[in-house]
Amino acid sequence: MIRTALRPAWLALLALLVVVVVAFYQLGMWQLGVSSSEASRDFAAEQAARPTVPLTEAIDPQSTFPDDGAGRSVLVTGSYRSDQQFLVPRRLLEGQEGYWVVTPVRVEPTGALLPVVRGFVTDPAQADRPPGTRVELTGTLAPGEAPGPAGLPQGQRGSIDTAELVNDWDAPIYDGFLFATEERPDLTGSAVQRVPPPVFGETGLIWRNVGYGLQWFLFAGFAVYMYLRFLRDASRRSSDTTTSEPALPVSAPPVKEPRP
């Protein structure tokens, strides 16, 4: 079979097979990507449709983050504690690496502290410190993050780890943080860019597109199967032809007549 596969015609067919399989694989992966993207858009629309509620209706201080809290739009009233502000490095916004500016708000009427992602800067010097005046915020809740890297410069933390903050801050805290989308009055400097809240939760898949993707993978497998089958049949025919060829008669050497 190897000898047959090395013939020019079969090598050309193999090259065509590779092109077809790669194309079918790419089409299958594209359908899977479409499935995930559509599911994310549907979940984002569902998340955006949830009504905005006061923070006190969504979560209590010093309590476990609620199962349905991630992505919830809430209203918060309080005052910033700029003395507790910190930066979180190695964050991205529109392809740029920089820092999240995180400032806690002392929430009314609980008096507990809620970390607020006020925005993003590319240079720590751009991170302003807001005054402690009363402020009203609208934003999206997020659960606390896992511990980040240690050994950072003063005023920086590797993540918004509420389990770490509860030991460092002098007031009760919420087990989560807020992506601020609106601020009244606007106390954020012009160099600080708002961070769009991410889409939280299990986005799932659109099974129709998953089915299309699996079909393309099956087509690729079928193309490989048919190539191998045709190659095997051609190899067998070649072998049978070789073994069935009649043997050439061997002529006997001429008999010399004795001389008289």
Q: Which CATH class, in words, describes the domain spanning 72-184?
A: mainly beta
pLDDT in the model for residue 105: 97
Question: What percent of the chain lies above the pLDDT cut of 90?
Answer: 52
- How far is 10 from 7, CA to CA, in rounded Å? 5
Q: What secondary structure does DSSP assign to 55-81, as a single string?
A: HHHH--TTSPPPTT-TT-EEEEEEEE-
Domain boundaries, the chain: 2-43+205-239, 72-184
- Beta-carbon count within 10 A of 124 CB: 14
pTM for this model (two decimals) = 0.63
Judged by DSSP in three states, 178 sits in strand
- 211: tokens are 């089915």
pLDDT in the model for residue 144: 93
pLDDT in the model for residue 224: 87
The pLDDT tens digits of the residues spanning 195-220 come to 998 876 554 555 666 677 788 788 88
Among 10-14, 41-45, 137-141, 216-220, which stretch is predicted with the lowest mean pLDDT? 41-45
pLDDT in the model for residue 36: 59
The pLDDT tens digits of the residues spanning 150-192 come to 899 999 999 999 999 999 998 999 999 999 999 999 998 888 9
Is 248 a residue whose pLDDT tops 90? no
pLDDT in the model for residue 24: 82
